[in-house]
Structure 1
């Protein structure tokens, strides 16, 4: 249910994924979309002028325009540079925090992910030494190396 506080673009995207099989049926898409609206959004819908919407696309555009202030703005790439492992923080907690922020950045920055994650670790951390001694070339390799060190940390 859309409550008026979350990202309307994400809501429409999730709705489209759930309704992919029925995407050609405009009337059904509109009717079912209404059932995904909470009280605030339903009040917005009830306030639309009669016959002002001619298609599902028009409905979702009007919805997005109205709730635009709830759009989630992607983080800038340089926000990764501000991350560093906190005193007493586990590698798992640090990497969870890092990947959460990384996923909020728009674009594909595998090379930046590798270097910024490495620099977020303390100089004496075993993983940082490993990444320096045996450099990696992909995000997948980075995640695998992190997982290896997390398992050691957990034992």
Structure 2
């Protein structure tokens, strides 16, 4: 499929093979002719299931949690550890990324709202870094060629 990503018809026909029960039922109940393109299908799917995204938590979320009187300890620990893991994932990203880099600044200034957001945001910074490296290599090649041409002219 990776070779046919421009084939909307194929992508739309293959999409339901990746779905399980509730999502597959949602797909089957789409009105016929309501999807104009694979991007349209993706947009509708995301808007349908966006609410299922786990929201990132900050450390204060741990301090506001309470063990309810009627809650079993195991249930509370499961809930607490889920929140703790969400906090740690987002906070860890901020701690391990080099301070002062544009990506670190982005994480501090605009705190991620979901667990996936730091990785999604990082993709843009990776593309920017790659483009800058490519441009730097191109400039280096051009400068080397210019130096060679200058040496040849001088001889």
Do the structures match in fold with TM over 0.5?
no
Tell which structure's C-alpha radius of gyration is larger: 2
The TM-score, its normalising length taken from structure 2, stands at: 0.40
The TM-score, its normalising length taken from structure 1, stands at: 0.40
More helix by share: 2
